[in-house]
Structure 1
Amino acid sequence: MKNLFKRLPTFSADYSGVCNAIQHMRCLIILHGQGGCIGEVEKRQFFWNWKKIFQTGKKENRVNIIGDTCLSGWTEDRRTNLKSNLQRQYDKVISWNDNAGIEELQKMCSASINIVASVSALPTVRKLEEDYGVPYMIAEEELKEIKGMEVFNKTGSILLVGEQVIMNQYRKQFRKNGYTGRISVCNFFEMNLEWMEEGDCRLEGEDDYIKYLKEQGGYEYIVGDPLLEQFGGYQKEFINVPQIALSGRLLNDR
């Protein structure tokens, strides 16, 4: 049975919220599904009455950043760095996540380009390109080094578990820094087939993750949420990089 979790908690459940509810209500909390977790919120926001929101006009030297949410792995520092770099090229940089009011949303179709910060942004940017001719590109922000990666053997195999855009960027940086071993990316949430390499995998559940590790013969190093360390599959090191959509905020000390 797919998506049956026996050792992992229900995804997108903020531990602090669940603990608070249990403490005050003294009851058993059952979480059903993860609708609205990764991507669904943005898709609903965009496709709901979108034709009445947008105002067509002449193109402006502006850029929209879409998908830079905390659930997709975007921290405030990461978002600030991306915006600072884009402000060198564009007069206005608008992030849906932190400063986009209704007036800015109405002008989205007049942007020069859209920046895809996570896979969840794809339906939106594709629709904007199709209907308004606004091109899009993947966010390529230089990410901070993963704590603990100094132990990595540059010829060793690495598995990166997390949001596809960010993990693909880490893979790119590893290769730029001289890593020549096998580097794979997998995620429990949405992945775009066009951005996947051989060995990458969209996981359907924890059994799928265990099966994937066995099929791949394991990895020397795994980078992922600390909840995944219990499943093994690594020969040398497991590097904790919390994924807020998986373990919530209580395990996220980054």
Structure 2
Amino acid sequence: MKNLFKRLSTFAGDYSGVCNAAHHMNCLTVLHGHGGCIGGVSTCDDFELDEHDMKIFFTKISEVDAVTGNDNKIIDMIVQAGKDIPCDFILLCGSPIPMLIGTDYRAWKRLIEKRIDLPVIALDTKGFDRYDKGEEALFHALIDTFTQDPKKKRNRVNVIGDTALNGWNSEMRESFRETLAQEYEEVLFWSKDVQMEEISSASEATLNIAVSVSAVSVVKKLYERYGTAYQIGMDSYGCVEKQVDDKQPRYRKNDSEKKILLVGEQVMMNALRSCLRKDFGVLNVSVATFFQLDKEIAEDGDHELYGEDDYERILAAEGEYDVIIGDPELRVFGGYHTFVDLPQIAVSGRVISDSIPNLYGKYGYEFLKKGLKQ
């Protein structure tokens, strides 16, 4: 059966992406489903949940309610929860069963807003798309709902897409923040610093930086709507460490001749590829991802993978790689001389979240240097 996963675990779904990207915000997140979906969100797909008091409500509809579509009962529960729990807005997202019975979330939004003085964002997630689609949908909805025309431009930069599922952690944010703070008075990471007020004034920023593929279309929308300059990736801000002495290259000749495959989130892997080329002289580097691949920032030889079959096909066609860098679950497929572990929560869950490295600046360089020495 095509794309049947026999060795990999299930990837984080679109509703996990929504919950992950919103977990720090002062909102009531409502995940609508029959049962079980909340387990993946709270125990597998976000290692940063423990850092915030997330307000999440799971409807856990019964079989009778699912079959009969007893929406009024569920809407009553959501309205009451919105009254009992202090929040700035209500965020609705769905799962597979509501999709099968055709739940009308736009109607829910209208009914809830009539009964409670809170804005409602409704996202028709289904659980079949992957996490980055959910993140992207949430980012667009936040802008469409809250962002206002700028009163004035400020010396501010928005960093969008810095979620745990994309490989970001607190250490990496602070390392990047130190660099950006040298140029900007305000540095806002959308998965750490922003609430509804900051989203409302997003148009006043000088620059938006998309640090994951889920944010690429978002920074382009902000450019088209408000004229805000944007950048994709971190390369312009020294994600690779500068040469101390240009006459003394810091890479070995045999490193430059290696064939390397990077498997992970596209924007992050592009940053590692840039580092491999600039600091290690490796030219033959390709990127593969099980998630979105934006063609505008891809190179010839990059791969969008839809399942295990595609990954196995690449390994068979390309022959053995000198180095593969990716989630440890990919080790079982072989196809490498050296494998460097780079855990991705969206693939293997948060059980190995303690192993997620800081990949910004000198830390990314040290990670690659250690991996190539294996």
Aligned partners of 1:200 and 1:216: how far apart in 2?
A: 12
Contact 1:3 1:206 in 2 (8 A): yes
Equivalent residue for 2:345? 244
Aligned partners of 1:16 and 1:43: how far apart in 2?
A: 20
Q: How big is the shift at 1:189?
A: 0.3
Q: Work out the number of aligned pairs and report it.
A: 237
Aligned partners of 2:147 and 2:284: how far apart in 1?
A: 46
Change (3 A) 1:8 1:53: same
Equivalent residue for 2:157? 63
Deviating 4+ runs (over 6 angstroms): none
Q: How big is the shift at 1:157?
A: 0.5
Change (3 A) 1:201 1:17: same
Say whether residues 1:203 and 2:297 are aligned partners. Answer: no
State, as a whole percentage, how many aligned pairs show the same letter: 41
Matches within 5 A, 1:52-131: 52-131=146-225
Secondary structure of 2:176's counterpart equals helix
Write the deviation string for residues 36-55 of structure 1: whole angstroms up to 9, x where unpaired. 61242342243267155424
Equivalent residue for 1:27? none
Change (3 A) 1:232 1:41: same
Q: Runs of 5+ in structure 2 lacking a partner?
A: 14-39, 45-95, 97-125, 242-250, 356-374
Change (3 A) 1:122 1:252: same
TM-score (norm 2): 0.58
**Which residue among 286, 291, 302 is the counterpart of 1:184?**
286
Contact 1:168 1:185 in 2 (8 A): yes
Rg bigger for which structure?
A: 2
Q: How big is the shift at 1:102?
A: 1.3
TM-score (norm 1): 0.84
Equivalent residue for 1:12? 12
**Which residue among 239, 242, 252 is the counterpart of 1:142?**
239
Aligned partners of 2:271 and 2:136: how far apart in 1?
A: 22
Secondary structure of 2:351's counterpart equals coil
With CA pairs under 8 Å and 6+ residues apart, which has the higher RCO, 1 or 2?
1
Contact 1:65 1:96 in 2 (8 A): yes
Aligned partners of 2:334 and 2:41: how far apart in 1?
A: 23
Contact 2:146 2:199 in 1 (8 A): no
Write the deviation string for residues 109-138 of structure 1: whole angstroms up to 9, x where unpaired. 111110111000012111111111111102
Secondary structure of 2:282's counterpart equals coil
Contact 1:16 1:249 in 2 (8 A): no
Q: Runs of 5+ in structure 1 lacking a partner?
A: 19-29
Secondary structure of 2:310's counterpart equals helix
Q: How big is the shift at 1:242?
A: 0.6
